[in-house]
Each structure stands twice: as structure tokens, then as C-alpha cells.
Structure 1
Amino acid sequence: MPGNVQAVERAVAVLRTLAAAGRPLDLAEIAAALELPKTTAFGLVRTLRDVGVVEQHGTGGAYALGDALARLQQTALDPHDLRSIATNWADALAARSRLEVLVTMPEPGGARVVHHVFRPDDSAQELRTGDLLPLHATAAGKVLLAHAVRTPRPTELERYSTRTITQRPRLDAVLRRVRESGWAGETGEFHPDEAGVAVALRGYGGLVVGAVSVRGPIERVTGRDGRPSAGLLDLVRSTAHSISRAVVT
């Protein structure tokens, strides 16, 4: 029985490396990450670029995942599929965190809520399924924006509260931290009295296909330092891992 095709394995490794990096990589970085000669790495990324699954930033520039790959992933996973996969874990997260839970997917201009679980209390709440959340002012939006392959960056950063990030350099710095830490937060940036925490959902090849987040009153989400507790962050991360694993199963 014939073995695996090495060129295909290496091409997939390039895609996974670019997806995990969360930023464009130059040829030397790709070659070093895969322990390949530069000439071999160049042949791989050039071919992937020519078929549209990798894009190059200018002549001789760095490489990133291309739109064609994102479109393939979006075709494979529609909102109904993700909602069906995520429901049980989202319900459990709401019960354990005592916060509302949102499962979102990227769309042009925002993060679309495909599943919403109410906070398990008697407070007045509105169903958010179908809402389009701003990318720069919500935890879920920041996660999707930080790992954007297909989602366009907002050209105008609308102000929703006094805490909304409206300066591009500041937003870029926040997105870098999101890629480094693996999670995003918000504190009064969309709704003045609410805070949230989000972690990416990943599909095949490590591509970010959505986000799972918790939201609620600021005092129930963050501590005095403005950060979520380690326990809450672990809950969201664990839920994201479980959903992501189910997506590719």
C-alpha cells in the first residue's frame, strides 16, 4: 500500500504554520519552522500562492493564508452546523460561569451570533441570535479580527461608549496581544455596563472559524485589575477546545 505523499504533507504543514502564527511570515520563518531548506519552502509557498490558498504581501513580502482557503472552510462549515456542534458545550459553559454565552462566526463587517445562551438568572435579557456584533468593540469580534483571513478590517472604528477603541494603532496593539495570549476581552466597550471574554474556535488546518464568548455585568466578569479570573478564562478555553475538536471530528 503506497505511503503518504510528502509534498502534500509539507503543503499542509505550511498552511498550519501560517494559521498558528496569526500573522504573515517571511520565507525564512516558514523554512525554519518546518526545518526545510529555503528552496523547498519557496517551492511550496509559491505553489500554494498560485492556487490562491496563500497570499503574498507585495513582491518578496511575507506570506499569509489566502481568501480561497477561507472560502473553502466557510463552505464546509455553515452557521447551522456550528450551532448544532456547539450547543451542548455552550449550555454547560453558561451553567458553570453563570454568564450568557455567544457563539459567533465572521461575516463582512462583524461577528454574527449563531447561538446564544441566556444567563441562568432572573434578569431581563434579549435573544441575540442573528445579531451582528462590531469587530473592534467586542471580545468575540477582536478574536475574529486578530485571526482574520476573510473578515475585512473595519475602516471606521465607531464609538459605542467612552471606552471603545477608536484609534487604529491602539487596536493593532490589542490584536497583537490577542494573537499572543489566545483570548480577547472587552470591558464596557460595546455596552457600558458589560464585559466579555472570548476564545477562537478552530477548524481544519487550525483556521479560525468562529469564537465562543461569555458576557455579563462587568463586576461578574472581571476583577479589580480589569482582567477575567483565571478560572473563568480556563472555562472558556476548555469550551473552545471541545467545540473545535468536534468541528474537525
Structure 2
Amino acid sequence: MQETTDYTVRNVKKALELLELLAESPEEITLPVLSASLGFSPNKIYRLLATLIERGLVERNRCSGAYRLGADTAALARKLLVSTNLTRPVSNDTPSATGGAELVGYAQPILEQLARTHDEAVYMTVIKDNEVLFLNMVDSLQPVKTEALTGRKFPFFTNAAGKVMKAVDSWDLLEKICKRDERKGKQPDLDQLAREMQQIRATGVAIDHGGLGDGVISVAVAVRDYAGMVVGAITMLGPSFRMLTERLEKEIIPSLREGAELLSERFGYARAEI
């Protein structure tokens, strides 16, 4: 009985490691690579993959045979918000703290409006354990667009959403986080990051070039609650040939600011009058 239990636990751990490996990879991964990376035989990895595919947590590319995260991981991410107090939204009628489900619900119509206006992918993003979690997304109708990131997590310093949400933290804390990630193979340029964060604090907007992939630009504005705490960020992604500087400054950033202000108001935030 003990042997069976140990075997089951080991399989569960490997399945979680498998999902984590797929989540961290920007590209699909083949079975041999997964087997070598996880130290499990190809047959055992294949059986784990078959189970995860059945549950919608993993998908297999029929042409290449490689694997990627499945669409149902996004549903798990949404359930995570419901079960944890990532936000404390309030309203004029019911000034009580609730779970994170409202963040997704309140954001959806705003994301839809932004996506319709600019025809680019728009996400609601939150910080979880110093990483950015990409939640619900409204996609563009463009023939050329960025890879869907729903349910994926990335180090905060690799994208605009993470930078704008972390801009309120002290530099000492951010430096410690970055140095800890360096030991995992991620090595941000701390001097450049310090300059970026200073500018983001001044403008309230973050723009990142290439952190989420070659030719991908992300731009984000923070969402705050009634206490002024950052609870998330509205984030737009697009290819660099469409996300031109003039378009960002004159069209996209003003819209993102307006959307973030509307969503922040739903959470009771009132910007101080100057």
C-alpha cells in the first residue's frame, strides 16, 4: 500500500513539474525533451500527457507532435482568483471586502471595448509570487498577432504589466527579487531596470520591447483599489510593426489610462485632486 501511495505521489509531482515546464517555455516542447528534462521515461511522460490532455490542461500539435499548455489552464487561473483575496473591491452600495472574482468580471467589458477600439490583444494581469499571471484575454481579429498567453506566468521584469505593478515597490526589494531570479538563469540588467522603474513611477505607464518574445511590445497601466493598492494591470500586446511610438502615445496609452481609471473606480479608488 505504501509503495502504491509513493508511486501515485511521485506521478502527481511529475505532472505538476511537467505543467510548470510547459508554462515556462515560450515554444512547444517535444516528448523526448520533456522526458530528458523531467528524468522520467518517455512512456511514463506520455501517459501523464494523455491524462492532462484529457482534462484540457495540455494540448498536442498534430503536425509537429509537440506539446503546449491547454486552454483549461486559464480556467484554473480564474478559479485561483476566486479562492484567494488578491483584491478587495468595494462599491458605494456594499463597501465590503470580497474575493478576486470581481476583478475578472469588472474587467471584461473594459477589455472588450479596448480590443474593439484598437484591434489588439488585451489582458487583465495580476502579480502572484513576484510573477505576472495573464488572466482573461480579449483577442484581436488581426491576421498577424501575438501568441495567446492566457494562464501563463512570467517574471515581473520581462513585461510591461510586471513593471507597472512593481513600480510601487522599493528598489531594495526589487533588486533582491531580481538577484534571486538570476540564480534561475534569468538575468535582468539592473541599471536599465532601475531607470525604467523610475520613469514608470513618474508616468504610470510601462512599455516593454521584446521581453515576451522577439518583436512583441507590451504596454500596461496599473489598476488600484480603494486604498490605493495596485491589484492588477490592463495590458495590451501586439507586434512591433503595429505598436508604433506615435500610435502608442496618441491612441493606445490614453485608452489604457481611461480603462484603468474606470476599473479602479469600480474598486473604490478615487485619485487625489491636485
TM-score range with shorter-chain normalisation?
Answer: 0.5 to 0.7
What do residues 126-176 of structure 1 show as CA deviations (whole Å, max 9, x unaligned)?
542221122111010101111248xx6333466xxxxx9822122111111
Aligned to 2:252: 232
Gaps of 5+ in 2: 1-83, 89-96, 270-274
Preserved CA contact (<8 Å) 1:142 1:184? yes
2:265 partner SS: helix
Give the partner amino acid of 1:137.
T
CA distance in 2, matches of 1:72, 1:217: 34
Work out whether 1:155 is the aligned partner of 2:178. Answer: yes
Identity of aligned residues (%): 25
Aligned to 1:200: 222
Q: 1:146 aligns with which of 137, 155, 167?
A: 167
Larger radius of gyration: 2
Q: CA deviation at 1:80?
A: 2.3
Aligned to 2:203: 181
The count of aligned residue pairs is 170
CA distance in 2, matches of 1:86, 1:246: 9
Question: What is the TM-score normalised by the length of structure 2?
Answer: 0.56
CA distance in 1, matches of 2:228, 2:145: 37
2:242 partner SS: helix
Aligned to 2:43: none
Aligned to 1:247: 267
1:189 partner SS: coil
CA distance in 1, matches of 2:254, 2:154: 24
Structure 1 residues 119 and 167 mapped into 2: Cα distance closer, same or farther (>3 Å)? Answer: same
Matching of residues 1-249 of structure 1 within 5 Å: 74=87, 76=97, 78-123=99-144, 126-148=147-169, 153=174, 154-156=177-179, 166-223=188-245, 228-248=248-268
What do residues 30-51 of structure 1 show as CA deviations (whole Å, max 9, x unaligned)?
xxxxxxxxxxxxxxxxxxxxxx
Structure 1 residues 246 and 229 mapped into 2: Cα distance closer, same or farther (>3 Å)? Answer: same
Preserved CA contact (<8 Å) 1:136 1:142? yes
CA distance in 1, matches of 2:187, 2:178: 13
Give the superposed CA RMSD.
2.7
Preserved CA contact (<8 Å) 1:136 1:165? no
Preserved CA contact (<8 Å) 2:156 2:162? yes
What do residues 4-45 of structure 1 show as CA deviations (whole Å, max 9, x unaligned)?
xxxxxxxxxxxxxxxxxxxxxxxxxxxxxxxxxxxxxxxxxx
Gaps of 5+ in 1: 1-70, 159-163
Q: CA deviation at 1:223?
A: 2.7
CA distance in 1, matches of 2:187, 2:245: 21
1:229 partner SS: helix
CA distance in 1, matches of 2:211, 2:145: 21
Aligned to 1:53: none
Question: What is the TM-score normalised by the length of structure 1?
Answer: 0.61
